[in-house]
Structure 1
Amino acid sequence: MRTKDVLIIGAGAAGSTAAFHLAKAGNNVTLLEQHSKENLKPCGGGMAAAVQEWFPFDLMPVVDEVINRVDFTWCLSDLVIAPLPGSSPFWIVQREKLDSFITEQAINAGAELLRPFKVTNLQKHGNYWQVTSKDGQQLEAKAVVIADGSRSPWPEMFGLGPKKQHYAFTTSVRLEGRGNIEKGTTKFEFGLVHHGFAWAFPLAKGVNVGIGSFIGQQALNSDAVLDKLLPSLGFDAKEGNRKDSLLRVWNGHSPLNGDGIVVVGDAGSLCDPFLAEGLRPALMSGYEAANSLNYWLKGDNKNLNDYTNKIQREWGDSMAWGRRISQVFYRFPKVGYQLGIKRPTAPQRIAEILSGKLGYGDIATRVIRRLLFKRT
């Protein structure tokens, strides 16, 4: 059995990003993807244009829409418009295209892709990790990257990520045609979703619509919400390819690495607990995990702790404040909309968070105090 440098479980955004950077640095990398082909992924697909800094190749070939305006509504009225700062600060992609594109770049850099390869067993034997597939194929490597999403069983098994998971309940819809959504505009709707919000992100020839609830463990009443939301966007209430999901969101600082193992993206519960942004932390964590592993494989680092520390500083510290804002905002959503969205400076602040220019820590103290002490 030939020993690899790194095995990556999952060829999504985070896993393929890690594969590209590891392979580019000269490591022997294999991506393990359970699905035989790239499936439709009707998730939001929104990401800050700032993610480009983590790639030496241009991501624009897979960008469907450049967003320069965000429209906020409460129960489909009470419109607030927020222009986004700078040029192309927020991008919309089709996830299946983005994942395939980065995976192709990883293969071109020297990574190997095995699909379908469903990992059913993962164990450490001495200095090496061994994975076993559903059909009995075995591989071993010096290191493993867990990148198989919110339903991954491996983080809990190896003590990675939060000890207690916090989930957002989401329903995503892929629609054909643009409805009444203007070019360059995305929409956020508060009020229709209990303890959450809805969004509409335009694509080149369609729209990604989603709803998410971020507090409590009750399931979404998605049909009732979509019956109202879709007609407001210019679609029939029953249109679209729909997918229900449980999304792991950030729930406190926790270890993201062990002995020769790291967890990235949704598998590491890195999703934004307030606005459900998952792509930016997925790409960031794939990039940072690759950097840490590369130093470790060369013997420059004794462990992979720098990966956990870097994600905590660059992402987790802001998400700690985002979680506090979420807990207050979604418990008092009408007050939150009045004081957090309609306030003159609020749309600009949210726009800057979406574009990656601000973190939640930059606004949290004022926002939480306002919501707690001025609610009626």
Structure 2
Amino acid sequence: MNFTEVAVIGAGASGASTAFHLANKGIQVTILEKQPSHLLRPCGGGMAASVQKLFPFSLNEVVDEVIKKVEFSWCLSDTVVANLPGSSPFWIVKREKLDELLTKEAIHKGANIENSFDAIKIQKVNNIWRITSTNGRQIEAKIIVIADGSSSPWPKKFKIGPKNLHFATTTSVRLEGRGLLEEGTSRFEFGLVKHGFAWAFPLKNSINIGVGTFIGDQVLESQRILDKLLPNLGFECNSGVRKDSRLRVWNGHSALHGNGIVLVGDAASLCDPFLAEGLRPSLISGCEAAEAINNFLKGDTTDLSNYSKNMKSKWGDSMQWGRRISQVFYRLPKLGYQLGIKRPTAPQRIAQILSGEMGYGDIAQRVIKRLLLQR
């Protein structure tokens, strides 16, 4: 049976970034990944360029497109354009390339990886975690990082994270070619999706398209929506590689740590409840989790609670306002578009949120008051 100081379950963006920061601090860390390699992941892949400050190595090699302009539309018309701040653009990456880079950098710093390790049992024995895979392999660790995404069973098992989960239902599409989407431009379409929106993010010689609904347990009629959206972007209705999923979105402040265990990324329900941004919180949580674990292992702290506190201040406080905006906006989408998107200053504010220059708390009270007064 192998022993490691920290076991990270999942080699996605949050897990690999946590492993990198831990290994970079000289901590013995092992990544447990059930997939044999980084598979195609046709998700949005958008993230604020400001995440670069979290890493001592360049992320440029996985950046497929630098977004400088965002187009908003209502039912494929009534377009509004926002230019992103030049100092903090929005990046589009292929998730499989980003995950691979972060994993490679973690291994370069000394992290180990166990591929084809599908964890089915986690238990604590004499204050040490024991993780068992489907094929009987076992790893023991002082600390566990849960980083296996929105479908993770472990937060519920260990009663960590939001008690009441809130899901966004999404369909992602990877398309070959650029269609009619201009270079350096992303697209957000409101009106076609009930209680949600659609997006189009450009890559090198391809595009990621997604549709998502964010309120209630709605059935996402993705094909009906794509039948209208894809031709508008210059593609055939049935083209592209598709993936349906449910994303855990932020649903209130809750502890993201337990006794020797932390949740990061989608497993921690950190996804933006308004614009569905998941990469930036995944990378932030990886950095913050590693810092808290390092301080705990060194004896500087008695538990991992600083991780939950820091994520509250650096992400959760803004998402609390983002959730309130989402609940009003997606219930009154046409009014929300008129007052929240077409208002002269609104596109620039959204662009600043996407680029990481501003949080929802900076605009929320004005936006919500404006929408409610116009009902």
TM score, norm. by length of structure 2: 0.99
In 2, distance between residues paired with 1:123 and 1:164?
A: 24
Q: Aligned runs of 1:334-349 on 2, under 5 Å?
A: 334-349=334-349
Query: Offset of 1:88 from its aligned partner?
Result: 5.2
Structure-2 residue corresponding to 1:173: 173
1:263 aligns with 2:252: no
Q: Aligned runs of 1:301-340 on 2, under 5 Å?
A: 301-340=301-340
Structure-2 residue corresponding to 1:96: 96
In 2, distance between residues paired with 1:42 and 1:183?
A: 19
- Cα gap change, 1:345 to 1:116, in 2 (>3 Å): same
In 1, distance between residues paired with 2:298 and 2:327?
A: 43
Q: Aligned runs of 1:201-216 on 2, under 5 Å?
A: 201-216=201-216
SS in 2 for 1:169: strand
Structure-2 residue corresponding to 1:148: 148
Structure-2 residue corresponding to 1:374: 374
Query: Offset of 1:126 from its aligned partner?
Result: 2.0
Q: Which amino acid aligns with 1:182?
A: E
Query: Offset of 1:159 from its aligned partner?
Result: 1.2
Asked if structure 1 preserves the Cα contact closer than 8 Å seen for 2:88 and 2:357, the reply is no
Deviations 1:309-361 (A, max 9, x none): 00000000000000000000000000000000000000010000000011000
Structure-1 residue corresponding to 2:86: 86
Asked if structure 2 preserves the Cα contact closer than 8 Å seen for 1:175 and 1:207, the reply is yes
Structure-2 residue corresponding to 1:41: 41
Query: Offset of 1:270 from its aligned partner?
Result: 0.2
Query: Offset of 1:87 from its aligned partner?
Result: 3.7
Q: Which amino acid aligns with 1:342?
A: K
RMSD: 0.7
Query: Offset of 1:86 from its aligned partner?
Result: 1.7
SS in 2 for 1:199: strand
* Percent of pairs with identical residues: 64
TM score, norm. by length of structure 1: 0.99
Structure-1 residue corresponding to 2:275: 275
Query: Offset of 1:38 from its aligned partner?
Result: 1.1
Consecutive aligned runs of 4 or more in structure 1 exceeding 6 Å deviation: none
Q: Aligned runs of 1:224-239 on 2, under 5 Å?
A: 224-239=224-239
Deviations 1:255-299 (A, max 9, x none): 100111000000000000000000000000001000100111111
Query: Offset of 1:374 from its aligned partner?
Result: 1.0
In 1, distance between residues paired with 2:103 and 2:132?
A: 22
In 2, distance between residues paired with 1:155 and 1:343?
A: 40
Structure-2 residue corresponding to 1:285: 285
In 2, distance between residues paired with 1:133 and 1:298?
A: 29
Asked if structure 1 preserves the Cα contact closer than 8 Å seen for 2:88 and 2:356, the reply is no
- Cα gap change, 1:356 to 1:88, in 2 (>3 Å): closer
In 2, distance between residues paired with 1:2 and 1:197?
A: 46
Deviations 1:127-185 (A, max 9, x none): 21110000011110000000000000000111111001000000000000000110000
Structure-1 residue corresponding to 2:164: 164
Q: Which amino acid aligns with 1:207?
A: I
Asked if structure 2 preserves the Cα contact closer than 8 Å seen for 1:11 and 1:99, the reply is yes
Q: Which amino acid aligns with 2:136?
A: G
Structure 2 unmatched ranges of 5 or more: none
Asked if structure 2 preserves the Cα contact closer than 8 Å seen for 1:66 and 1:88, the reply is no
Structure-1 residue corresponding to 2:241: 241
Q: Which amino acid aligns with 2:329?
A: F
Q: Which amino acid aligns with 2:190?
A: F
